[in-house]
Amino acid sequence: MRRRIRVAITVLATTLTLTAAGCTSSGQNGPLQAGESTLTKVLTSKKISIGVFADAPPYSVLNSSGQYEGFDIDKATALAESLGAEIEYVSTTNASRIPMLETQKVDVIIAALTNLDERAQVIALTRPYASEGQLVVVPADSDIRTYDDLDGRAVAATRGSVPATILETQFPQARASLFEAVADSIQALRSNKVDALMESTAVVADIRRSQGDAVRVLDAPALSPSLVSFGAKMGDQLWLNYLNNFIMNYNISKSANDSYNRWLGVDVPDLIK
């Protein structure tokens, strides 16, 4: 009987030791511990890594002073402030956004991520923080007037983007010229290496501002109207809940409206409030 009691006490003590060890956190500044939420990591470390574009105005650019600025950067700054965290920006491209989340190289992606169904199968997408469509830009003297005129023409788009998908599925007769960065697509249009460029309404607005009368936008309805979200690693509901709550509050704020007007020239659409 006494032996049984001693065994039971030993087992209980071992269990309590293991439980205590499991409750002790470590490596808060490193990769997530098993079962740990990104929210907990960010709140503890006071640091947040955010994937953003370096060359996609007006969403985000790395300027000549080595500072990031743009529509998405306003969101990133506000998010970090809400968490009391210091930002580490990580430059991303259209094609690298999802892999960065899957490999935990960033805590969140804020880089004009259209919330497509196929993306929602591999990463978590928040409620939208912006809305957009896709437009086609051509040189001012181009004979391209309608979408039908794109048949047989070279059309620039960025790899892994919505325009790249549109070209493949809706314009199979066009010759898609895919580039790694938006800036490369714009340069290809400037240097007449392509006949047209397809990009989001926000990017096209910036192209029109910078290129002036040298380009024009096809007078046609925007293609694939869509919503734009933050991206997070799949399976972290606590983090996703926080991001959704942040966006909900931010989109009805004066800061959001100021940002929309500064970078996109309009008020926050009612659709995303």
- Do 182 and 203 touch, CB atoms closer than 8 A? yes
Choose between 188 and 27: higher pLDDT: 188
- The SS3 assignment for 229 reads strand
Confidence band, pLDDT 50/70/90 cuts, at residue 265? confident
Confidence band, pLDDT 50/70/90 cuts, at residue 30? low
The per-residue pLDDT of the chain, averaged, comes to 88
Question: What's the pLDDT at 33?
Answer: 62
Choose between 27 and 57: higher pLDDT: 57
CB atoms within 10 A of CB 271: 10
| Class of the CATH-defined domain 38-131+228-268 | alpha beta
State which amino acid sits at residue 237: Q
Distances 210 to 124, 163, 205 between C-alpha atoms, Å? 34, 21, 9
**Could you report the per-residue pLDDT of 198-232, keeping only the tens digit for each?**
999 888 988 988 888 999 999 988 898 889 999 99
Tell me whether the CATH fold assigned to 38-131+228-268 matches the one assigned to 133-224: yes
Among 2-16, 72-86, 101-115, which stretch is predicted with the lowest mean pLDDT? 2-16
Question: What's the pLDDT at 19?
Answer: 40
C-alpha to C-alpha distance for 178 and 147, rounded to whole angstroms: 18
3.40.50.300, 3.40.190.10, 3.10.20.740, 1.10.3720.10: which CATH number matches 133-224?
3.40.190.10
Question: What's the pLDDT at 121?
Answer: 97
| DSSP symbol at 156 | E
> At CA 123, angle to CA 119 and CA 125, rounded to 5?
80
**Could you report the per-residue pLDDT of 110-156, keeping only the tens digit for each?**
999 999 999 999 999 999 999 988 999 999 999 999 999 999 999 99
- Do 107 and 99 touch, CB atoms closer than 8 A? no
What residue ranges do the domains of the chain occupy? Answer: 38-131+228-268, 133-224
Question: What's the pLDDT at 12?
Answer: 39
